[in-house]
Amino acid sequence: MENLNKYIEHTLLKQDAAEADLIKLFDEAKEYKFLGVCVNPCYVKLAKENLQESGVKIVTVVGFPLGANTTETKIFETINAIRDGADEIDMVINVTKLKDRQNEYIVDEIRQIKAACQGRNLKVIIETDLLTKDEIKLASELCIKGGADFVKTSTGFVKGGVGAKAQDVKLMYETVKNAGLQVKASGGIRDKETALAMIEAGATRLGTSSGVKIVG
């Protein structure tokens, strides 16, 4: 696949990442012409400084990694990130609320954060490692109702979790495709074979820290 780089959000979300690691990430994103980078909120300004006029999107995370922040906190994070230069927002769903079938809470939270995005793409991380197939389908349906632009598999932070699985990506894609939403696969995508399997299953974005290896 010739344009695999245009699916990749080159990602660095580790707690112990040094600023030098982030600069390296930005340089690689420019060199390989990745679609975007995904960094923690406190590094959005740094990304903006390093990626100006590069065409590389700046993506950041909200309510990360647990999703258990209050809606008000997630909204504040979103507004703050956009002010700092974020092009897209990846928010984590409240998994407990989902499992308790507090569907309106989930939908309302997505709606409010989407409004705070001011027209920018909102991706909703549903954390597939913690969900049954029925819950994956439900979460994807709630993302449609909330007005999200993407449904995303994983944070990559679930202990013992696999991350993105092709069968889950396919289920998500089949659930949201007619509503016009897209799927971002993330977590555990470390080689070209896995990346291609995710795209085959319906993903249009790949969140990975192995982008250079994948396209190399």
Annotated catalytic residues are: 90, 152, 184
User: What is the enclosing helix (H) or strand (E) of 59?
Assistant: strand 57-62
Q: Please choose, from the candidates 104, 103, 41, 96, the residue with its C-alpha nearest in 3D space to the C-alpha of residue 67.
A: 96
Token digits for 175?
Answer: 């659930």
Are 38 and 56 contacting, i.e. CB atoms less than 8 angstroms apart?
A: no
Half-sphere exposure for 63 (CA within 13 Å, toward CB): 27
In 3D space, the residue among 161, 100, 109, 111 whose CA is nearest the CA of residue 135 turns out to be 100
SS3 105: helix
Residues 6+ apart with CB under 8 A from 215: 4, 5, 8, 32, 192
For residue 16, give the DSSP letter.
Answer: T
Which of 13, 3, 2 has the alpha carbon at shortest distance from 186? Answer: 13
